[in-house]
Amino acid sequence: MKRLLLLIFTCLALTVQGQESMPLLKIGFLSYDSALKAMPDYVVTQQKLADLRAEYDKELKRVEDEFNRKYEEFLDGQKDFPKTILYKRQTELKDLMERNVTFKANSRRELAEAERAAMMPLRQALNELLAEIAKERGFALILNTDADACPYIAPAMGEDINQIVHDALK
């Protein structure tokens, strides 16, 4: 027990001694999303993504309309169809519906990938800018305050760099 207490007091003494000689860490903080949206190429990138979404939506509407038209034709004629034609039409509708579901899932995945790919150069450029600002201003790290990730940062320990970043992006 005495050895444990001695070990604890020794660790505390070393920690206090180490803190006295350690310089204070400077921290910068900003809204990463706000900085990203302030980038000149952000609007162009978002417009390209919106155009791509519109193309996928147009194709999705076309295949849904095709399915609905064939389904209505099936409903209108199902009483008159011989059994083999009825079965064939049911199979066609089922296959068409499965293809539509697959297309919808693939389009969501492809749109997400396109967005990641389109935003990558913007994120890289912003990260490089933040690294430059951190070096210039002597920050040990820069925190992203989006989504209430950091509800409080002591003013003596951190500096709001939102305006600095926005000015550098102009």
pLDDT digits (tens, 9 = 90+) for 67-117: 999 999 989 888 888 999 989 999 999 999 999 999 999 999 999 999 999
Q: How far apart are the first and last CA of the chain?
A: 63
Q: Does 85 reside within a domain?
A: yes
Q: Does 14 reside within a domain?
A: no
Instruction: Identify the domain containing residue 71 by its residue range.
Output: 20-169
Q: Please, how many CA atoms are within 13 Å of residue 26, restricted to the half-sphere of its CB?
A: 11
Q: Does 5 reside within a domain?
A: no
* Weakest-pLDDT range from 5-9, 57-61, 69-73, 118-122: 5-9
User: Which position has the token pair 């066609």?
Assistant: 92
Q: Does 104 reside within a domain?
A: yes
Rounded CA-CA distance 85/45 in Å is 49
Q: Please give the tally of structural domains in the chain.
A: 1
Average pLDDT over residues 125-140: 95
Q: Please, how many CA atoms are within 13 Å of residue 116, restricted to the half-sphere of its CB?
A: 6
Residues 6+ apart with CB under 8 A from 67: 93, 96, 97, 100
Q: What is the pTM of this model?
A: 0.72
Rounded CA-CA distance 45/53 in Å is 12
Q: Does 12 reside within a domain?
A: no
Two structure tokens written together for 121: 């150069």
User: Which position has the token pair 């791509």?
Assistant: 52
Mark residue 147 as left, alpha or beta (left: phi above 0; alpha: psi -120 to 50; beta: remaining). Answer: left
pLDDT of residue 4: 45
Q: Does 98 reside within a domain?
A: yes
Whether the CB-CB separation of 138 and 27 falls below 8 Å is answered with: no
Q: Does 84 reside within a domain?
A: yes
Q: Does 6 reside within a domain?
A: no
> In this model, does residue 142 exceed pLDDT 60?
yes
